[in-house]
Amino acid sequence: MNGPFSGKLAILGMGYIGLPTAVALATRGVEVIGVDINRDVVAAISRGEVPFVEPDLAISVSGAVAMGRLTATTETPEADAYIIAVPTPFNDDRTADLSFVQAAAEQIAPKLRSGNIVVLESTSPPGTTEKVAQWIGAIRSDLRMPRDVEPNPDIFVAHCPERVLPGRIMIEMITNDRVVGGLTPRCAEHAASIYRVFAQGEILLTDAASAEMAKLVENAYRDVNIAFANELSLICESLHIDVWEVIRLANRHPRVNILSPGPGVGGHCIPVDPWFIVSAAPLLSPLIRTAREVNDRRPHHVAEQVVSKAQRFRSPTIVCLGLTFKANVDDIRESPAIEVVGLIAKALPDVDVLVCDPYVDRVPPLLSGYANIRLANAHEAVEGADIVVLLVEHEPYKSMRHTRLGGKVSYDTRGVWR
């Protein structure tokens, strides 16, 4: 068993996962170099600043940079270990777009020396870690790559999927169990030494494909469960039963834990990852596919409800509270709230749609084409609203007093104003 890693470590991708991982390692004594193609991100980190909102991250970044343990650059340096934490979006046909992972592997390849460790953290379909080794091998035929038949490879390649929850990244980064899947058992051992530096949870060693699949399964599991809640919401709505009350009661059963319906499923992970499973086994995944479709349909349903409420007014003002993909984060990627707002604005081009979000300071690009959408201050907007739609349960909206909503039509998609 290897002890905790000590040495120089480069992380490619300074986003929501790469940067917190860099900080977790740097504040525990590892020399970390953060690599990103975006110069603004590199400049922000170099100043000790965080380019996005995540609780408790800013103080750790400024500390790690001030201590000289964390630096940032656009060039991939020589190091003892590399972590790839770049995005894996999907293509139009919903297969994984591995171009960022491939580019990262090809940037690392020329720098590799014997004994180096390469860890893929990006969420990836089964077989991607193997591909990383192949992409590196294609450039560095001089290196012995890890294979079952190769007892002494020059480099060690593994997958260690990130599992942290946005909004709780700094806590979960440390406390979550980690799955480390190696191309060989020795690869897993070497990669695990990096996570031993900071992980308080258990480090579970396995093979690379199992680690890749486990990560996809975790997010598909959540997606299916949210779809169940969203389907219940539709059913209860049609039967004039309060779905929140039903869930509250059902969840008092010791083995039932139904999640919350909402305006849809957003973020860069849950709406994407289940498709990697579906594209790997299309005929065997009807449940996972259907869950995706149920959740993708949600923003349309919510928008249709708002549009039908608007028919009661001659010239209503609609206020939508929340634009991010979930509460208390500033991330708007794949946000169902943005989709809902766009659908309402499109269906009602003559109606003013005011949007509010404490974490968003300009109309998101996806909505900038609608002349009837305006960013507003929640306090004032609600005051003059006819219809108030709660799309994201940010703290200030959760506690919005019922008296402020009196006389208005309110539509709470998150079940917090009950």
Q: Catalytic amino acids?
A: 215, 269
CA distances from 75 to 34, 202, 234 (A): 9, 33, 51
Judged by beta carbon, residue 126 or residue 166, the one nearer ligand SAJ is 166
C-alpha angle with apex 317: 316 to 320, nearest 5 degrees? 130
Nearer to ligand SAJ, 165 or 203 (CB): 165
From 160-168, 192-200, 249-257, 285-293, span contacting ligand SAJ (CB under 6 A): 160-168
Residues binding ligand SAJ: number (CB under 6 A):
21
Query: Is the CB of residue 274 less than 8 Å from the CB of residue 257?
Result: no
- Which span sits near ligand SAJ by CB under 6 A: 151-159, 235-243, 263-271, 342-350? 263-271
Residue 190 engages ligand SAJ in binding (rule: CB under 6 A): no
CA distance 259 to 313: 34
Unique residue bearing structure tokens 């709230």: 337
296 touching ligand SAJ, by CB under 6 A:
no
Tell me the C-alpha distance between 30 and 3, whole Å. 13
Q: Which of 13, 267, 299, 322 binds ligand SAJ (CB under 6 A)?
A: 267
Residue corresponding to tokens 């046909």:
93
Cβ at position 273, least distance to ligand SAJ in Å = 6
Type of residue at 143: L
Could you give the 3-state DSSP secondary structure of residue 351?
A: coil
Please, which residue, 352 or 412, has the CB nearer to ligand SAJ? 412
- Cross-strand partners of 11: 34, 83
Is residue 98 a contact point for ligand SAJ (CB under 6 A)? no
Burial of 188 (0-12, 13-18, 19+ CB in 10 A): buried
Measured from the CB atom, is 145 or 270 closer to ligand SAJ?
A: 270
Query: Which token pair is 157?
Result: 């390649």
Residue 329 CB, nearest approach to ligand SAJ (Å):
7
Q: For the chain, what's the residue count?
A: 418
**190 vs 326 by CB, closer to ligand SAJ:** 326
**In the block, residue with structure tokens 């209860």:** 236
Q: Indicate whether 164 belongs to the interface with ligand SAJ (CB under 6 A).
A: yes
What pairing do the DSSP bridges indicate for beta strands 352-356 and 373-375?
Answer: parallel
Q: Is 266 in the site for ligand SAJ (CB under 6 A)?
A: yes
Rounded Cα–Cα distance for residues 418 and 118 (Å) = 50
Q: What residues between 1 and 20 interact with ligand SAJ by CB under 6 A?
A: none
Window 343 to 402, contacts with ligand SAJ (CB under 6 A): none
Task: Pick from 112, 191, 226, 321 the residue near ligand SAJ by CB under 6 A.
Answer: 226
Among 13, 27, 157, 163, binds ligand SAJ (CB under 6 A): 163
- Using the rule CB under 6 A, give the single segment among 100-108, 218-226, 231-239, 300-308 that binds ligand SAJ: 218-226
Return the beta strands (E) in 222-346 as ranges.
317-321
Residues making contact with ligand SAJ (CB under 6 A)? 123, 162-166, 218-219, 222, 226, 259-260, 262, 265-267, 269-270, 325-326, 336
